[in-house]
C-alpha cells in the first residue's frame, strides 16, 4: 500500500484511555482508519453505523465484557466479514478458549509488543485468519 492511502478501518475497544491512544497511534502510522470505543455498547453502535474490517477487543470492560461483545458481533449476519482480535490481560487457556469460542480469530495478551501487534493486524487484513 502506498504512503498516504488509507488501509482498512479498525475499531479499538478498550476502557483504558492509554491503550486507546497507543493503539490509535500505531494503527494510524500504518495508514489504518481508526475508530475508538471505550465500552462494548459504544462499540456495537459504531459497528452498526461504520462497520470496521477488524475489531481489536479488550475483555475486561464495564457493562459488557469483550466476550459478550464478540458474541453480539457474530450474531448479526451483516458482521460476518468483521475480524475480531482480542487484546487483553486475561491470558489463561480458559480465557483463550472462551475468546475463540465467541468468535475471536486472534487472541493476544497484554503487555504486547508493538511490532507483533501491527504484524498481526496486517496479516489478518491480508490473509484473514
Domain assignment present for 3: no
Question: Is residue 16 assigned to a domain?
Answer: yes
Give me the number of domains the chain comprises.
1
pLDDT of residue 6: 60
Residues of the chain with pLDDT under 50: 1-5
Q: Is residue 120 part of a domain?
A: yes
Domain-located, residue 116: yes
The predicted pLDDT at position 1 comes to 40
Whether residue 81 lies inside any domain: the answer is: yes
Task: For residue 1, tell me if it sits in a domain.
Answer: no
What's residue 4's pLDDT?
Answer: 42
**Domain containing residue 97: CATH number:** 3.40.50.2300
Within-domain flag for 27? yes
User: What is the domain range of residue 115?
Assistant: 9-124
- pLDDT, one tens digit per residue, over 32-69 is 999 999 999 999 999 999 999 999 999 999 889 999 99
C-alpha cell at 39: 465500552
Give 107's strand partners.
86
Q: Flag whether 129 is in a domain.
A: no
Amino acid at each position: 500500500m502506498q504512503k498516504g492511502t488509507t488501509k482498512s478501518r479498525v475499531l479499538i475497544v478498550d476502557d483504558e484511555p492509554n491503550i486507546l491512544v497507543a493503539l490509535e497511534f500505531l494503527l494510524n502510522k500504518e495508514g489504518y482508519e481508526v475508530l475508538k470505543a471505550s465500552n462494548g455498547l459504544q462499540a456495537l453502535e459504531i459497528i452498526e453505523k461504520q462497520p470496521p474490517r477488524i475489531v481489536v477487543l479488550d475483555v475486561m470492560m464495564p457493562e459488557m465484557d469483550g466476550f459478550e461483545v464478540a458474541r453480539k458481533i457474530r450474531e448479526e449476519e451483516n458482521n460476518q466479514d468483521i475480524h475480531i482480535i482480542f487484546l487483553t490481560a486475561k491470558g489463561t487457556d480458559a480465557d483463550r478458549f472462551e475468546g475463540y469460542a465467541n468468535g475471536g480469530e486472534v487472541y493476544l495478551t497484554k503487555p504486547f509488543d508493538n511490532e507483533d501487534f501491527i504484524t498481526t493486524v496486517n496479516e489478518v487484513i491480508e490473509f484473514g485468519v
